[in-house]
Structure 1
Amino acid sequence: MSRRKSPLVSALFKLTRAGVRQSARIGQAAARQGVKAGGRLAEQAGRALSAVATPAEAPGAVAGGRWHEGRWGLGPLAMRRWRLFIPVGATARKPLPLLVLLHGCAQDSAAFATTTHAAAVARAKGFAVLLPEQGQDANPQRCWNWFGSEARVGLETQTLMAIIDHVVQAYPRVGGPLFALGLSAGGAMALTLALRHPERFCAVGSHSGAAPASARTPLQAGQAMRGRRSPDADAIALRLAGRPLPPLLLIHGDLDPVVSFDNAEAAAGLWLELLPEGVPVKETAGELRRGSRRSVARRDWKRGRHLAVRLLRVHGMGHAWSGGAAGQAFSDPSGPDALRLAWQFFETVMEQAPPAPV
């Protein structure tokens, strides 16, 4: 007599099967960038085995702060590695804000820490940064599973929230306001966390990410990435049941060939549609340029004096982290520093409203 599989085990198997198909397009782009950055057959083989386009050394000793690492999740079948950087000076009585930084496909936490200059920016700006790491058992190309069935997406979000809760409990010094930001699939996942746990986050952001809640199947995910699908605002409003969403930051290159810029506009439209009624929304626009770096078109939407959505369109940039480290896949050193731009937005949000509970 056969035994019936538990819902958790069934969801994990579905995650792996669907991940192979969903990751194909981004994985091909990762392979192309990996070949450009490398050159040796052995290095390329190592990347293929690890599913990391341009591996980086594990973060080591850093002046002015310390890296911690561990594993946590929802049990033996849903464990994830994580890395945490805490600058010096943090105390449990005055805990630092915590930024959850979610890598993209074909990356891991070490590569993403290198790409984003996470430790340097966190130390300079006074926040802690947590980098969960997707495992190949959950997605062969290390993409966060931002789309699919309720069980599939629910498992991913619950796993990430479990890691956040564990880290905050283990390190009370990082129990301040909570933020989430991610690249590509990580960006879509960051917004998915906010849609499912809006009360937990002070603000969230997506860099070059697909519009959240815009796909259930691999085919639909590909369509969404090309800008041919939009989120179902009515279904999301029903799930939110009146809970307000945290402020949203979107950063996206206008020449992105992997995830169309239309996704940033769709995500902004979703957030604006779900704003509570009664307070008029005012839109402003401007242009940012820092030295010889790429210029950025900025659009802000405010409810009264409070920022609700900021959209940064980086001119001439493809599917890459703006201002990222040289030599890393999905990294454009010629763009303005995305992590500093994001933290500027998050600081503004903290100044304008009381932080959300963690």
Structure 2
Amino acid sequence: MHKKHTLISYFVLSFFWGLAACGGSQHSPVSGVKLGSFTRHEYRSDVGARSYKIYTPSQYRSDSDWPLLLDLHGCGSNADEEARWSRFNELAELAGLIVVYPEQTAEANGSKCWNWFLPEHQGRDVGEPAIIAGITEQVRASMSIDARRVFVSGISAGGAMANILAVNFPDVYASAMIYAGCEFKGTTCTGAVALLPAEVSGELAYQAMGSAARVVPVLVIQGDRDLQVPYPNAGLIVQQFLSSNDWADDGNNNNSIAREPTQSESGSKVGGHSFDIEYYKDANGCLLAEYWLIHGMGHAWSNAASDGSPRDILLTDALGPDVSSETLRFLLNHPRPEVGVSCYQITPR
């Protein structure tokens, strides 16, 4: 199936772009709509410590369980910048979602990159994965969170670390979005295409899941003009997850999960970039992977809000589709299944 369409966002955001709540409740200076709080917190454990910020929607109440998205910034960034570029705070206000933004430190990495490329930061109980998962648990302990609707996303180095978290904590994170990231243990992807075969990466991912192994749905996003993380790496990530899902669905690598897309389509933003989407489903019709390739886009947040600074101009692309809305659409449609249910049969966009 191949059809042409114009992207229609699942959330109406035009009134909210460029806003960032940074304390108590605020109102949009454009529409007057009440926004939630954006507050700073600290996490400390025997493994390490990090700061993080939480966006809490204005309608949050503790008498019901809320979905949570943990989102990881790229190199040199921070929670405020990531929230501005992704617009996840504004989206979360409309969708009813808590967003958590961990921050890397210059002490841990001189470029403030997550250390996804080091073996000591690729396992469940060590390094930054343990710290970030600890942040997730700290938020879950202090707020009313739906354990089946905890998600992880990230861009660039944050995308690579989001991959590591999805692999090592399938019992915590229901599904993942990986944007301009790298395959699990594929450490040569910066400025090049990782050399690790996706089938090997997928088997390593399955082994890392241990007794918590399960099928993990993933949304992968990439620009085809990305020189920092060349776009073939995105295909490796997709294939890595298809491979690990093949292992996880029945404990065998027996091609129970097809490696070819079962459906594809293309579209464009009016006056902007075109894109192709591939969907990968299992034999039961469960959507396991979705891959967006945006033509003409480099290493940048697509359709991001920008403050006009040189860094924002360099690392955002207003001509791209609204991948942030698509991220929430995908993740919220992929909660962690109940026991005895392999996944939910989600109709693609």
Indicate whether the TM-score tops 0.5.
yes
Partner of 2:169: 197
How far has the Cα of 1:221 moved from its partner? 5.5
Match of 1:69 among 40, 46, 55: 40
Unaligned runs of 5+ in 1: 1-55
Q: Is 1:342 equivalent to 2:313 in the alignment?
A: no
Q: From 65, 75, 79, give the equivalent of 1:105.
A: 75
Equivalent residues in 2 for 1:112-151, closer than 5 Å: 112-150=82-120
Is the contact between residue 22 and residue 39 of structure 2 (CA under 8 Å) also seen in structure 1? no
Residue 165 of structure 2 corresponds to residue 186 of structure 1: no
The yes-or-no answer on 1:290 pairing with 2:269 is: yes
Q: Counterpart of 1:78 in structure 2: which amino acid?
A: G
Measured on the aligned residues, the alpha-carbon RMSD in Å equals 2.5
Using the TM superposition, give the Cα deviation of residue 71 of structure 1 relative to its aligned residue in structure 2, in angstroms: 0.8
Picking from 181, 191, 208, the partner of 1:239 is 208
Higher-helix-fraction structure: 1
The answer on whether the counterparts of 1:83 and 1:109 sit within 8 Å (CA) in structure 2 is yes
Query: Secondary structure of 1:325's match?
Result: coil
CA distance in 1, matches of 2:121, 2:70: 23
Verify: 1:308 aligned to 2:288, yes or no.
yes
Look up the SS of the partner of 2:328 in the other structure. Answer: helix
TM-score by length of 1: 0.75
* 1:80 paired to 2:50: yes
Match of 1:5 in 2: none
| Contact kept? 2:153, 2:178, Cα under 8 Å | yes
Shift of 1:235: 2.9
Kept in 1, the 8 Å contact 2:189–2:230? The answer is no
C-alpha contact 1:90 1:174 (8 A) present in aligned 2: no
Partner of 1:67, secondary structure, is: strand
Code of the residue aligned with 2:329 in structure 1: it is Q
Cα 1:57/1:309, change in 2 over 3 Å: closer
Alignment partner for residue 185 of structure 2, among 213, 217, 222?
Answer: 213
Quote how far apart the aligned CAs of 1:203 are.
0.6
- 2:7 aligned partner: none
- Tell me if structure 2 keeps the 8 A contact 1:257–1:318: yes
Query: 1:280 Cα shift?
Result: 5.2
Q: Is the 8 A contact 1:194 1:245 kept in 2?
A: no
Q: Percent identity?
A: 24
Shift, 1:314, TM fit: 0.7
In 2, distance between residues paired with 1:330 and 1:105? 11
TM-fit CA distance, 1:236:
2.8
**In the alignment, is the contact (CA less than 8 A) between 1:294 and 1:314 conserved in 2?**
yes
Is the aligned partner of 1:94 residue 2:74?
no
Structure 2: how far apart are the matches of 1:122 and 1:87? 7
Amino acid at match of 1:82: Y
* CA contact 1:57–1:111 (8 Å) conserved in 2: no
Residues 280/114 of structure 1: CA separation in 2 closer, same or farther (3 Å cut): closer
Distance in 2 separating the partners of 1:347 and 1:158: 24
The CA deviation string for residues 37-56 of structure 1, in whole angstroms up to 9 with x for no partner, is xxxxxxxxxxxxxxxxxxx9
Q: Contact (CA 8 Å) 1:195, 1:245: kept in 2 or not?
A: no
What is the CA deviation profile of residues 212-251 of structure 1, one whole-angstrom value per residue up to 9, with x for unaligned ones?
2112xxxx454xx511422533333333346114200000
> How far off its partner does 1:152 sit?
6.6
* Residue segments in structure 2 that go unaligned for 5+ positions in a row: 1-18, 27-33, 342-349
1:273 counterpart = 2:252: no
Q: Secondary structure at the match of 1:346?
A: helix
What is the TM-score of this pair, normalised by structure 2? Answer: 0.77
1:179–1:152: structure 2 CA closer, same or farther, 3 Å change rule?
closer
The alpha-carbon deviation at position 209 of structure 1 amounts to 1.0
**What is the one-letter code of the residue matched to 1:181?**
S
Q: Deviations over 1:183-211 (max 9, x none)?
A: 10000100100111112111101111122
Name the counterpart of 2:13. Answer: none
1:249-307 CA deviation, whole Å, 9 max, x = no partner? Answer: 00000110100111110011111112225855462100132322322200000112211
State the Cα deviation string for residues 15-59 of structure 1 (Å, max 9, x = none): xxxxxxxxxxxxxxxxxxxxxxxxxxxxxxxxxxxxxxxxx9883
Q: Distance in 2 between matches of 1:101 and 1:113?
A: 9
Contact 1:96 1:176 in 2 (8 A): no
Q: CA deviation at 1:93?
A: 3.3
Query: What residue number does 1:172 align with?
Result: 144
Please give the alpha-carbon distance, in whole angstroms, between the structure 2 residues aligned to 1:68 and 1:145. 25
Whole-angstrom CA distance in 1 between matches of 2:99 and 2:267: 26
Moved over 4 A (4+): 173-176, 277-280, 352-356
In structure 2, the partner of 1:29 is none
Q: Decide whether aligned partners of structure 1 residues 74 and 148 sit closer, same or farther in structure 2, where only a CA change above 3 A counts.
A: same
- 1:173 Cα shift? 5.0
